[in-house]
C-alpha cells in the first residue's frame, strides 16, 4: 500500500463535532509531548470551525506515523471562564486549535 493510500485509509469520513456545538476539553494530565495547553483542560468551549484532518502531532513527536488522521477544530472559549481573575470585557474570547481526541460533548444542564 502506498503512503497516500495509507493516509486515505486512516482518515475518518466526517468530523464528530459541528460548528456551534458545545464541547468540554478532557482534563487529563498526560505525560509526554501534548499539544493541549494545561490551562484549557477541563474547560467548556464552542466549536468555531472544523479545520481539517491531520496526522496526530502527539504521535509524530515520537517518530511514529501519526496515523490515524485526527480531526482538528478551532474552539472558542470565553476568557473569563478560562481565567477567573480576567478583567477584560465580558465578551472577550480566546480561540485554540484542539484535536478531536481531546474533546467531548459538553454536558447540558
CATH code: domain of residue 32 = 2.30.30.50
What pTM was estimated for this model as a whole? 0.88
Helix, coil or strand: residue 47:
strand
Q: What is the pLDDT of residue 93?
A: 98
Non-local CB neighbours of 63 within 8 Å, separated by 6+ positions: none
Report the number of distinct structural domains present in the chain: 1
**How far apart (Å, rounded) are the C-alpha atoms in residues 22 and 108?**
9
Residue 4 C-alpha cell reads as 497516500
- Look at phi and psi of residue 63 and say left if phi exceeds 0, alpha if psi is from -120 to 50, else beta: left
Q: What is the pLDDT along the chain (109 residues), one digit of tens a residue?
A: 555 555 556 677 899 999 999 999 999 988 888 889 999 999 999 999 999 999 999 999 999 999 999 999 999 999 999 999 999 999 999 999 999 999 999 987 6
What range does the domain containing 99 cover? Answer: 3-105
Amino acid at each position: 500500500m502506498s503512503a497516500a493510500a495509507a493516509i486515505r485509509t486512516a482518515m475518518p469520513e466526517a468530523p464528530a463535532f459541528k460548528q456551534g456545538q458545545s464541547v468540554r476539553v478532557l482534563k487529563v494530565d498526560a505525560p509526554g509531548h501534548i499539544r493541549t495547553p494545561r490551562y484549557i483542560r477541563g474547560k467548556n468551549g464552542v466549536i468555531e470551525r472544523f479545520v481539517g484532518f491531520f496526522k496526530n502531532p502527539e504521535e509524530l513527536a515520537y517518530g511514529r506515523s501519526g496515523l490515524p488522521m485526527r480531526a482538528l477544530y478551532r474552539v472558542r472559549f470565553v476568557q473569563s471562564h478560562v481565567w477567573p481573575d480576567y478583567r477584560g470585557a465580558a465578551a472577550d474570547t480566546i480561540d485554540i486549535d484542539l484535536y478531536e481526541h481531546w474533546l467531548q460533548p459538553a454536558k447540558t444542564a
